[in-house]
Amino acid sequence: MSTWASADPVSSGALLAVRDLKVTFPTEDGLVKAVDGLTFDLRAGETLGIVGESGSGKSVTSQAIMGLHRGSRAKVEGQIVFDGRDLLKIVDDDLRRMRGRDIAMIFQDPLSALHPYYTVGNQIVEAYRIHNDVSKAAARAHVIDMLDRVGIPNPQKRIDQYPHEFSGGMRQRAMIAMALVNSPRLIIADEPTTALDVTVQAQILNLLVDLQKEFGSSIIIITHDLGVVAELADNIMVMYGGKAVEGSSADEIFYEAEHPYTWGLLQSMPRIDAVKQARLQPIAGNPPSLINPPSGCAFHPRCAFRDDERLGCSSVVPRFEISDEHPTRCLIPQAERRAIFQTQIETRTA
Amino acid sequence: MTDLPTSGRTPDDEPAAASTSTATSTPSSAPTSTPTSTPTATPPSAHDASRDRTSGASGGRRFSRRRKAADDDVALGEVILEVTDLKKHFPMHTSGIIRRAADPVKAVDGISFSVRKGETLGLVGESGCGKSTAGRTLLQLLQPTSGSIRYKGKDVTNADPKELRKLRNEMQMVFQDPYGSLNPRQTVGTIIAAPFHIQGIKPEGGIKAEVQRLMERVGLNPEHYNRFPHEFSGGQRQRIGIARAVALRPKVIVCDEPVSALDVSIQAQVVNLLEDLQDEFELTYVFVAHDLAVIRHISDRVAVMYLGKIMELATRDELYENPLHPYTQALLSAVPIPDPRRENKRERILLKGDLPSPINPPSGCVFHTRCPRYREDLSEAERTRCTTEVPVIQGEEDHRVACHFAGPPKVDVI
Ligand SMILES: Nc1ncnc2c1ncn2[C@@H]1O[C@H](COP(=O)(O)OP(=O)(O)OP(=O)(O)O)[C@@H](O)[C@H]1O
Ligand SMILES: Nc1ncnc2c1ncn2[C@@H]1O[C@H](COP(=O)(O)OP(=O)(O)OP(=O)(O)O)[C@@H](O)[C@H]1O
Ligand code: SF4
Ligand SMILES: [Mg+2]
Ligand SMILES: [Mg+2]
């Protein structure tokens, strides 16, 4: 990777180019700035991992890309350029046509995608026939094949069952089958395995990787589990309080992390591969308000490296330079950040 | 629902969620509390207990008995809790107008282990393997179907209400869901004070001062005494649950997924708090979780459960560095490591299929339907053993395994 994101989203060559995305919600308490100026590129066949604590804006970002805020009170600004077209500008009909065919989504809770009153098969057949002019019988055969591919045993029989007749892991697989039935070019997976056991998670992640290879899809994987992004992601964006605080290749994020929040994440996490279990080092304090975010660097109230006098952490807003290879929203000079990571950050690697 | 009857048990057919509350009762050695009543003879309800408190006649006698109990205390490192062949089966009924008994859910199906004072025993396994049921049965919030529980050397399995209530002084529970286990209409002060009221305990300096001291101890602002649960974050709510659990200075706390709902950074705060409280009060933990990294961090010994049985029980590093049961190996191998270079080199042991039903578990070794060793490495005769003969957990004290063909994995699992 050379730069985090190219200057021009349309000619960038990326499948998805998000520029300065902002999503705000008017509420009784004030305007919630849920996503506040996100920029990233996602190339064909690549996987971007988005990590960050609860409430940092990960799901709102994915909803914005899917166009799910349309018709709501949310205000969405910026550019979401998919294959050269700005999704924020196209008409509803076009968006609907692209949804499911070009861009598909996998949620944490499969029941939010599967209707309880229709058989699993009917729903996936419908999803397929909306975008493909084929007979019911042909669609059904295709769906049985798809269910088989996602590892649902006995698909000829299972296709006529209802979601409640499936186990949690099987429902998740059914939803993946539905998401992939049209071989979409972009798959957005929002905590796809968070509710599942590790053994089932391993099956599902394996499946995603295999299907990605087969279809050449790009994936955005949203998770709070750094292990999951380590396994899947080519690039990682770390979010805090609606903003990207750091973005780079997966290796850079894990082995040369530059943002104090990322350091905090790496240090607070217990590790299964740690031979010595040292005391965890939590990030002090609580998530920031999105209505009245902290001044200066939004992370400064919780930052162990804050320096108001020298750097102005509580007053100067740090920038996220998208022309950098590894942009980091922090006022500490880069050389110094690198030195801190090398000498002071114990990432608990075995 | 917040306050549990002090000596009732959850009926068998009530959903597990119905008991999401802290079991509370009189402390046997709470140094800061001044006993003022004789709660021993009270019927099992919070209401009656608090009424009894006002009568407060023979506090002195209770106090001397309590001191005696404290003298019986086991030393650090000695066995405090011993479970033998414990079973908890939930009776099931057929649906329809005439309800007939059907096969029971074998949620916990013959587990044995001991816990030493001051240590943390981790209980880990997939969803539905019986971890929570084991924890609840241990505290006798659920009536065991069979087997025995010994606490400080004494069989307490069929304790009468009086004994049970005393037991509940000393054993508490912290739950996963800070939302569900706190009454939304009660202030934090009231919630944390509940154990004192239920037990009729009046701490020195008054309940409010003691509650505020507890709040401070668990990292809550004591000035927030009058706030309601919804005004706190998830991590703070978990602190409220912890303050309530330690209020009466228990000896044993069953922690049921106490950090599973929290973000990593907040999770670390709560884990550290639990560790500190353990050191300070010589607490013994049974720590239930499905997160194998958290379990490795916090446990001294770890029991791996599958379909109501313990598959492997070993000291922490033994279990993680030398897992001998194919299930433990698959479980560890499934956990993604936050280290991309190592992650790319790892070979996963993938389990096929879903968890079988605990109503009708597989014959022989309950794991054989998903076992990679069974599938790939065994002869026909060996397989027959797996499908017909239930493996008994055996081995050294610090490492016991329930597998006919226990042995190291073919690939590194971590
Ligand atoms: N419809 C809405 N109206 C008002 N606020 C909203 C709405 N949807 C989301 N938010 C707020 O936006 C912020 C970001 O939410 P989002 O769901 O993106 O978080 P997240 O990073 O996905 O967190 P999690 O890890 O918990 O899923 C949160 O503070 C949330 O409360
Ligand atoms: N009150 C009940 N009645 C009937 N079955 C029950 C009851 N409580 C639990 N079970 C069943 O017993 C088994 C073990 O459940 P338990 O809640 O102990 O599992 P667990 O290991 O704690 O799972 P999780 O990780 O999902 O919390 C499950 O099959 C569950 O459905
Ligand atoms: S007893 Fe057989 S089936 Fe069970 S874990 Fe061991 S090898 Fe696998
Ligand atoms: Mg989310
Ligand atoms: Mg449980």
Rounded Cα–Cα distance for residues A5 and A235 (Å): 12
Do the beta carbons of residue B288 and residue B123 sit within 8 Å? yes
Q: Does ligand 2 have an atom closer than 6 angstroms to the CB of B90?
A: yes
pLDDT-derived band of residue A108, with 50, 70 and 90 as boundaries?
confident
Helices (H) and strands (E) in chain A — how many of each? 12, 10
CA distance A67 to chain B (A): 27
Q: Is residue B268 part of a domain?
A: yes
Assess whether pLDDT exceeds 60 at residue B2. Answer: no
Cα angle A335-A337-A343, degrees, rounded to a multiple of 5 = 100
Ligand 1 centroid vs A33 CA: distance in angstroms? Answer: 10
Q: What is the pLDDT of residue A349?
A: 54
Q: Which of A114-128, A155-169, B53-67, B398-412 shows the lowest mean pLDDT across its residues?
A: B53-67
Q: Do A198 and B337 touch (CB under 8 A)?
A: no
A300-326 pLDDT, tens digit each: 999 999 999 999 999 999 999 999 999
Q: Is residue B193 within 8 Å of residue B3, measured between CB atoms? A: no
- The least confident of B159-163, B177-181, B201-205, B320-324 is B177-181
| Tokens 């057949």 sit on residue | A125
The answer to whether position B397 is within a domain reads no
A281 vs B268, B333, B348: nearest CB: B268
Classify residue B370: in a domain, yes or no.
Answer: no
What order of strands is seen across the sheet that includes strand A235-240? A103-106, A186-190, A218-222, A47-52, A235-240, A243-249
Is B254 domain-assigned? yes
Confidence of residue A276 (pLDDT cuts 50, 70, 90): confident
Query: Does the pLDDT value for residue B128 go beyond 60?
Result: yes
Question: Chain centroid to CA B293: how far?
Answer: 18
Residue B181 pLDDT? 80
pLDDT at B55: 33
Sign of CA dihedral B329, B330, B331, B334: positive
Whether residue B42 has pLDDT greater than 80: no
Give the per-residue pLDDT at A196. 85
ipTM reported for the complex, 2 dp:
0.91
Cα(B205)–Cα(B214) distance, integer angstroms: 13
pLDDT digits (tens, 9 = 90+) for A248-270: 999 999 999 999 999 999 999 99
For the cut 90, the answer to whether the pLDDT of residue B365 exceeds it is yes
List, as ranges, residues 273-312 from B with C-beta within 8 Å of A: 275, 290-294, 296-298
Note whether residue B162 is domain-resident: yes
H helices of B299-346, in order, are 316-321, 326-334, 340-345
Q: Which residues of A touch B290 (CB under 8 A)?
A: 197-198
Q: What is the mean pLDDT of residues B17-31?
A: 38
Per-residue pLDDT for A188 more than 70? yes
Name every residue whose Cβ is closer than 8 Å to that of residue B325 and which is 6 or more positions away in sequence.
B304, B311, B312, B401, B402, B403, B406
B296 contact residues in A (CB cutoff 8 A): 270-272, 274, 277
Q: Where are the alpha helices (DSSP H) in B177-257?
A: 188-199, 207-217, 234-246
Q: How far is CA B305 from the centre of its chain?
A: 13
Query: Does some domain include residue B348?
Result: no
Mean pLDDT of B264-270: 91
Q: Which atom of ligand 1 is nearest to the CA of A290?
A: 29
Closest-lying ligand to the alpha carbon of B126? 2
Q: How many CB atoms lie within 10 A of CB B155?
A: 12
* % of chain A exceeding 90 in pLDDT: 81
Given a cut of 80, whether residue A150 has pLDDT beyond it is yes
- Smallest Cβ–Cβ distance between B338 and the set A167, A200, A226 belongs to A226
On chain A, the residues whose CB falls within 8 A of the CB of B289 are none
The tokens of B142 are what?
């659920």
- Give contacts of B 227-246 with A, CB under 8 A: 233-236
Question: Which of A202-206, A247-251, B52-56, B231-235 is predicted with the least confidence, judged by mean pLDDT?
Answer: B52-56
CATH number at residue B88: 3.40.50.300
Provide the pLDDT for residue A348. 55
- Give the mean pLDDT of chain A: 93
A203: part of which helix (H) or strand (E)? helix A198-215
| pLDDT of residue B62 exceeding 60 | no
The answer on pLDDT for B337 being more than 90 is yes
Q: Is B355 in the pocket of ligand 2 (CB under 6 A)?
A: no
Identify whether the C-beta of residue A197 lies closer than 8 Å to the C-beta of residue A167: no
Flag whether pLDDT at B196 surpasses 60. yes
State how many domains chain B has.
Answer: 1
Q: Quick one: pLDDT at residue B117?
A: 97
- Tokens describing residue A208: 């995603």
| Of B33 and B153, the one with more pLDDT | B153
Distance of CA A311 to the CA centre of its chain: 31
pLDDT of residue B314: 98
Least confident of A213-222, B54-63, B315-324: B54-63
What is the spatial distance between Cα A153 and Cα A215, in angstroms, rounded to a whole number? 22
| Phi-psi category of residue A203: left, alpha or beta, with phi > 0 → left and psi -120 to 50 → alpha | alpha
pLDDT in tens, A35-66: 999 999 999 999 999 999 999 999 999 999 99
Q: Which of A265, A215, A247, A254 is nearest to A322 (CA)?
A: A247
| Alpha-carbon gap: B354 to the closest alpha carbon of chain A (Å) | 8
Query: Where residue B250 falls among pLDDT bands split at 50, 70, 90?
Result: very high
- Tell me the residue range of the domain where B85 lies: 46-93+102-170+248-324
Q: What are the structure tokens assigned to B137, written together?
A: 């049965």
Sign of CA dihedral B281, B285, B289, B292: positive
A151: Cα separation from own chain's centroid: 24
How many Cα atoms sit within 13 Å of A281 on the Cβ side? 17
Q: Which of B265, B295, B317, B322 to mutate to test the interface with A (most CBs of A within 10 A)?
A: B265
B72 pLDDT band, cuts 50/70/90, is low
**Residue with CA closest to ligand 3 atom 2:** B386
Closest CA to B185 of B229, B225, B226: B229
Mean pLDDT of A165-171: 86
How far is B233 from B221, CA to CA, in rounded Å?
13
Report pLDDT digits (tens) over B371-388: 999 999 999 999 999 999
> Is residue B371 lining ligand 3, measured as CB closer than 6 Å?
yes
